[in-house]
C-alpha cells in the first residue's frame, strides 16, 4: 500500500531515471489512453513533485497526476529488462533515454494544465505533507485542533486535508509508538500527545524512505502479543471508510 514514504521513494527513483529527458509516452492499457496521457509524448520532464500520496510530473504547461491508492504502482525498468507485469496492464509507459517507468493501476491517473494544479479540488485541499523537509508541526497540530473534536484520532490521521501522506500502516504504528489509543476522540487527545503521534509518524516514515523497509512493523498486521507489554493486539475497521487500525489494548491509553 502506497503511503507517503513509498511515494517519496518512487519520486526519487523516477527522477533519477527520467528528469531532464525527452520522454516517449505510451498507454498500452485503455485506462491510460482514456486519461489522455499520450498528449505528453515527446515533451521534456522538468521535474517530479510528491505531496502526500500524490505524484505530479512536471511537463511544462501540462502535469501528469498519479495517485496509486491501495493497489497501484510505479516500476522502473532498464531498457530491455523483463517487466514483472504484462505490458497490456500498463496504464502509462514513460520512456527516457535508458529506462522505462511503468504505471499499473490506481485510482488516479490524469493530465491537467499546470495552471490548474493550485485550484484543483483534489490537490488544493491537501494538508501539509508529513514528510515535507521544513514541516511546520505547529500548523499541523492546529489543523487537528480545528477538526471535528468527536472524530477519533485514528480516523483523523488518515484525513489528507489535515496532513497528507499517512496511511493505514503509519496511522497504527505512530499511535503505538506514542502509546496513544487511536480510538480516543480528538477532544480527549492532548496537544502533547498529538504532537508525539505526528512526530512518530514523520520519523518512522522518513526512516522507511531511507531504508525501504516496510515489512517489519510493531503493531500493523502483528499477530501475537504486544512486543512492548505482552498485552493483546487488536484490529478493527475505523472511520467512515472502515480502514483497519491495529493497536495494543493495554499499553495504548
Question: Measured over all CA atoms, what is the biggest interatomic distance in the chain, rounded to whole angstroms?
Answer: 58
Least separation in angstroms between residue 211's CB and Zn ion is 24
Do residues 90 and 67 lie in contact, with contact meaning Cβ atoms separated by under 8 Å? no
Closest to Zn ion by CB, 36 vs 231, is 231
Q: Where is 142: in which H helix or E strand?
A: helix 137-146
Closest to Zn ion by CB, 116 vs 232, is 232
Least separation in angstroms between residue 154's CB and Zn ion is 16
Least separation in angstroms between residue 231's CB and Zn ion is 4
Q: How far is CA 41 from the centre of its chain?
A: 26
Least separation in angstroms between residue 218's CB and Zn ion is 9
Distances (CA, A) of 10 to 22, 151, 210, 231: 19, 32, 12, 36
Closest to Zn ion by CB, 192 vs 229, is 229
Question: Which residues of this chain interact with Zn ion, rule CB under 5 A?
Answer: 226, 228-229, 231, 248, 250-251
Closest to Zn ion by CB, 23 vs 248, is 248
Least separation in angstroms between residue 100's CB and Zn ion is 45
C-alpha 164/C-alpha 157 separation (Å) is 9
Phi, psi of 99 (to 5 degrees): -140, 165
C-alpha 233/C-alpha 250 separation (Å) is 8
Least separation in angstroms between residue 18's CB and Zn ion is 44
Closest to Zn ion by CB, 143 vs 228, is 228
E strands, 114-210, in order: none
SS3 at position 37: helix
Least separation in angstroms between residue 247's CB and Zn ion is 9
Closest to Zn ion by CB, 102 vs 177, is 177
In sequence order, what DSSP letters do the residues of 55-88 get, joined into one string?
EEEEETTEEEEEE-TTT-EEEEEETTPPPSS-GG
Q: Which residue has the cell 485550484?
A: 119
Closest to Zn ion by CB, 151 vs 171, is 171
Q: How far is CA 242 from the centre of its chain?
A: 18
Amino acid at each position: 500500500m502506497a503511503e507517503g514514504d513509498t511515494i517519496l521513494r518512487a519520486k526519487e527513483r523516477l527522477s533519477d531515471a527520467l528528469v531532464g529527458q525527452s520522454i516517449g509516452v505510451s498507454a498500452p492499457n485503455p485506462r491510460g489512453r482514456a486519461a489522455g496521457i499520450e498528449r505528453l509524448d515527446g515533451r521534456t520532464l522538468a521535474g517530479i513533485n510528491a505531496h502526500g500520496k500524490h505524484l505530479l510530473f512536471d511537463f511544462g504547461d501540462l502535469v501528469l497526476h498519479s495517485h496509486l491508492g491501495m493497489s497501484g504502482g510505479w516500476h522502473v525498468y532498464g531498457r530491455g529488462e523483463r517487466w514483472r507485469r504484462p505490458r497490456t496492464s500498463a496504464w502509462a509507459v514513460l520512456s527516457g533515454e535508458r529506462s522505462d517507468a511503468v504505471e499499473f493501476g490506481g485510482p488516479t491517473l490524469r493530465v491537467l494544465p499546470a495552471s490548474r494544479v493550485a485550484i484543483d479540488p483534489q490537490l488544493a485541499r491537501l494538508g501539509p505533507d508529513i514528510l515535507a523537509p521544513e514541516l511546520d508541526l505547529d500548523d499541523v497540530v492546529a489543523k487537528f485542533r480545528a477538526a471535528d473534536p468527536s472524530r477519533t484520532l485514528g480516523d483523523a490521521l488518515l484525513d489528507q486535508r489535515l496532513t497528507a501522506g499517512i496511511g493505514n500502516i503509519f496511522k497504527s504504528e505512530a499511535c503505538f509508538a506514542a502509546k496513544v489509543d487511536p480510538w480516543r476522540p480528538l477532544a480527549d487527545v492532548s496537544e502533547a500527545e498529538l504532537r508525539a503521534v505526528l512526530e512518530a509518524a514523520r520519523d518512522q516514515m522518513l526512516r522507511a524512505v531511507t531504508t525501504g523497509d516496510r515489512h517489519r512493523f510493531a503493531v500493523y498486521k502483528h499477530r501475537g502479543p504486544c512486543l512492548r507489554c505482552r498485552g493483546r493486539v487488536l484490529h478493527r475497521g475505523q472511520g467512515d471508510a472502515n480502514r483497519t487500525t491495529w493497536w495494543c489494548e493495554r499499553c495504548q491509553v
